[in-house]
Amino acid sequence: MTATADLKEFIAAYLVEAEEHLAVANAQLLAVESAQRKGETNPRAVRETFRSLHTIKGLSAMVGHRTDRRHRASHGDVPARDFDRSGGALPLEAIDALLKGVRAIEQRVLALSRGDSAAEPSDELLTSLDSLGLAAASPAAHGCGHARPRPGYFGQARAVRSRSADARHRCRTARAARRIQPFAVQGRRGPDHQLRA
């Protein structure tokens, strides 16, 4: 039997990928901010921000970073569904807090790459994230080890997720299925290569 993998061996690769995702998160947050200042929304930028932060969160936990409340806030832990369903519009104060949060993650990643110990995220940053309903509550209070979103902007935004958003998801899948039609293998896929309704 092969020896059990040591995931700490992936720290160098983690640092490279984390930096890429941080750059994406920064750029996308600035795109959201730009749209917001014009009175527009940018759902794709919000989604990409969320995706990058969640990837960093998952990778950080896998390579052994602590994920208590303070560290979750500085490793991209935001209530996924609430952020995802914000409708592409974030208040400017939320964008500002998130940009500061991304900066805090950058500092920690940089410190890790140098072999230094990083400064703890400030109480001010945690408080500003808390006030937006982004920072994590005590996992124990929720009972399943995951943060329960607090009431606030994102909690309200969840309620406005519309049927059209679900329909867009289905359309995306259908478009993807149409694109892969030429790849279908005769015999492996029948003529009824259709998505389930």
Residues near other proteins, by CB under 8 A:
1-5, 7, 9-10, 13-14, 17, 48, 50-51, 54-55, 57-59, 61-62, 67, 80-81, 144-146, 169, 172-173, 176-177, 179-180, 183-185, 188-190, 192-196
Nearer to other proteins, 39 or 159 (CB): 159
- Would you say 18 and 60 are in contact if contact means Cβ atoms under 8 Å apart? yes
Q: Which is nearer to other proteins, 151 or 190 (CB)?
A: 190
d(CA 120, CA 117): 9
Closest CA to 57 of 68, 67, 47, 45: 67
The amino acid that residue 86 corresponds to is S
- Separation CA 181–CA 88 (nearest Å): 32
Q: Is 41 exposed, middle or buried (0-12, 13-18, 19+ CB in 10 A)?
A: middle
Please state the closest distance from residue 60 (CB atom) to other proteins, in A.
9
Which residue, 1 or 39, has its beta carbon nearer to other proteins? 1
CB of 54 to other proteins, least distance (A): 5
Which residues partner with 189 through β-bridges?
Answer: 186
In the complex, what is the shortest distance from the CB of residue 38 to other proteins, in angstroms, rounded to a whole number?
Answer: 25
Nearer to other proteins, 31 or 96 (CB): 31
Q: Give the shortest CB-120-to-other proteins separation in angstroms.
A: 21
Choose between 27 and 96: whose C-beta lies nearer to other proteins. 27
How many angstroms separate the CA atoms of 88 and 18, rounded? 24
